[in-house]
Amino acid sequence: MAQNDLLTRGVVEVIEKDHLEKAFASGKKLRIKYGADPTAPDLHLGHSVALRKLKEFQDQGHTIVFIIGDYTARIGDPTDRSKARPMLSEQEVKANAKTYFKQVGKILNAKKIEIRYNSEWFRKLDLASLIKLMAEFTVQRILERDDFTKRLKSGTEVHSHEVLYPIMQAYDSIIVEADVELGGTDQKFNMLAGRDLQRHRGLPQQDVITVPLLVGTDGVKKMSKSVGNYIGLTDEPNEMFRKVMSVNDDLIDQYFTLCTDAKRPTEDPREAKLALAKTIVGMYHDAKAAAAAEDEFVRVVSNKEIPSDIERKKLKVKSLSLTDLLLETGMAASKSEARRLIEQGGVKLDGERQTEPMRTVALGGEIVLQVGKHKFLKISA
RNA sequence: GGGCGCUUCGCAUAGCGGCAAUUGCAUCUGGCUGUAGACCAGACGUCUUUAUGACUACGGGGGUUCGAGUCCCUCAGCGCCCA
């Protein structure tokens, strides 16, 4: 990829651009810092935006420094009170990191990454040093952060430890001697805090690159696992294909730019999205799987045929009511739900719509049970 | 330390003693369509002999009452204000 694309495609802002360009021109190998959260080891396309950018730098011979924020994770973040996020043990952090880097390896050369756990230095930081560190920032400066301001205005609480996050992240930059820090636009403030601290200590300031936050499949909120609008890097080809196809039309261009190296081939949204889905599945699986997924999609979704590969389940009984069948096979969570689905016309047996909840189903050979549009199950006695 | 208030479906909300309980979002089903979205219709505690049915539910426990989400006491969690 051309060097000028490096700082433009899929990039929102570069601070300081001139400085960074000079550094590139000098041929110096830079240390590029990226923060990772070990609490959520499942990566999705949203993460891939930053990772793909890092990959470009890696290909130029720069060093990617991954900071695993295990220290903060182990303290637990009470901001999200609804979840009462549990503290992670050392083993859990390690296990998460392992799955994390396995997925990162789909994009970056994992062997060349420098991995640092921030517990390495925070564990040793005593109170006196922490106070000294905090003295290097003013409360005003910290409260400038957008979400703090908003929460203060609206009366939502801001826990006092939260103001430490930007400070800790800034400290990370000092320790790993970052030349550049890369992150989503939501990280801008924290990354700039790194610059502040470096300047304050008379160190060279890191440059900051922000990348866009990918909007999720719903077309509204940023992609995240908890919202459920995500496309996971480890999703099965068919599922991945389907999810890409369900992306809002307005996002097609954005997805091409941020998630692939390709360009949108055509104006037609359906065709463009098929190409997009095929490209993305090809990236995280392979071309063969992508082609198969496309066939499957056309067959099942476009032509409404039965999928080629359906899960099977054996039942021990010879006959039972339709409601019980849904319950037994786990296609419905309760009898009431099963009844509801049947009454609303969402249940088919061998392609025939069923409307009678109490009818008895005789099990002999194989029958195909369909619930809703996507759930299929092959049942044998 | 003193005063006030909050806790109801995944989230958010209504609820001045008759409530399986409002509304929005989310979710699910059906319709429409180029997949999705948007849009339209419906559902959204469980169970059954499907009924003006039974049971379980409005933070926990106790009480008043024919009857309590609603009133009283108490415990817990959370928040606001004054000092």
Nucleotide nearest to A370 (CA to C1'): B29
Q: What is the pLDDT of residues A241-257, one digit of tens each?
A: 999 998 888 889 999 99
At residue A77, the 3 state secondary structure works out as: coil
**Residue A84: per-residue pLDDT:** 41
Q: How many Å from the CA of A79 to C1' of B76?
A: 21
For residues A231 and A241, what is the distance between their CA atoms, to the nearest angstrom?
9
| Contact of A211 with A12, CB cutoff 8 Å | yes
Q: How many Å from the CA of A291 to C1' of B43?
A: 38
**Residue A79: per-residue pLDDT:** 44
| Contact of A154 with A106, CB cutoff 8 Å | no
Please tell me which residue, A360 or A85, carries the higher pLDDT value.
Answer: A360
Nucleotide nearest to A332 (CA to C1'): B28
Q: How many Å from the CA of A378 to C1' of B53?
A: 36
Angle between helices A45-59 and A252-259 (to 10 degrees): 40
Angle between helices A127-134 and A164-176 (to 10 degrees): 100
Of A231, A244, A216, whose CA–CA distance to A301 is shortest? A244
**Structural domains of chain A sorted by starting position, each given as residue range(s) with its CATH number in brackets:** 3-211 (3.40.50.620), 237-302 (no CATH), 312-380 (3.10.290.10)
**Residue A1: per-residue pLDDT:** 46
Nucleotide nearest to A247 (CA to C1'): B36
Dig out the tokens for A101 from the structure: 């880097």
- A76-85, A89-98, A125-134, A327-336: the lowest-pLDDT one: A76-85
Nucleotide nearest to A357 (CA to C1'): B50
Of A226, A227, A244, whose CA–CA distance to A235 is shortest? A244
**Residue A173: per-residue pLDDT:** 93
Q: How many Å from the CA of A359 to C1' of B28?
A: 23
Let me know how long chain A is: 381
Residue A49 DSSP one-character state: H
Spacing of C-alpha A53 from chain mean position: 15
Dig out the tokens for A254 from the structure: 């954005």
Q: How many Å from the CA of A302 to C1' of B39?
A: 21
With 90 as the cut, is the pLDDT of residue A278 above it?
yes
Q: How many Å from the CA of A250 to C1' of B36?
A: 11
**pLDDT averaged over chain A?**
85
- A290-294 CB contacts, 8 Å cutoff, 24+ apart: A290/A237, A290/A241, A292/A237, A293/A237, A293/A238, A293/A240, A293/A241, A294/A241
Nucleotide nearest to A158 (CA to C1'): B79
Q: Which residue has the tokens 């080809």?
A: A237
**Residue A76: per-residue pLDDT:** 52
Q: What is the pLDDT of residues A138-164, one digit of tens each?
A: 888 888 887 777 777 766 677 777 788
Give CA separation, A29 vs A15, A66, A153, A343, in Å.
18, 16, 44, 66
Of A46, A91, A40, whose CA–CA distance to A280 is shortest? A46
Nucleotide nearest to A250 (CA to C1'): B37
Q: How many Å from the CA of A246 to C1' of B41?
A: 23
Q: What is the pLDDT of residues A102-137, one digit of tens each?
A: 899 999 988 889 999 988 899 898 999 998 999 999
Chain B bases near protein Cβ (<7 Å) = 11-12, 27-31, 34-37, 42-48, 50, 78-80
Q: How many Å from the CA of A306 to C1' of B49?
A: 38
Query: What strands, in cross-sheet order, belong to the sheet with A312-314?
Result: A312-314, A375-380, A366-371, A347-349, A352-353
Nucleotide nearest to A371 (CA to C1'): B29
Q: How many Å from the CA of A208 to C1' of B36?
A: 36
| Contact of A46 with A13, CB cutoff 8 Å | no
* pLDDT tier, A266 (very low <50, low <70, confident <90, very high otherwise): confident
* pLDDT tier, A83 (very low <50, low <70, confident <90, very high otherwise): very low
Q: Which residues touch strand B (CB under 7 A)?
A: A 82, 155, 157, 217-219, 228, 242, 245-249, 269-270, 273, 301-302, 327, 333-337, 339-341, 344-346, 357, 371-375
Structure ipTM: 0.80
Nucleotide nearest to A245 (CA to C1'): B35
- Over residues A221-236, mean pLDDT: 83
Dig out the tokens for A239 from the structure: 């599922």
Q: Could you tell me the pTM of the whole model?
A: 0.82
* pLDDT tier, A317 (very low <50, low <70, confident <90, very high otherwise): confident
For residues A369 and A315, what is the distance between their CA atoms, to the nearest angstrom?
13
Q: How many Å from the CA of A357 to C1' of B19?
A: 29
- Over residues A182-210, mean pLDDT: 92
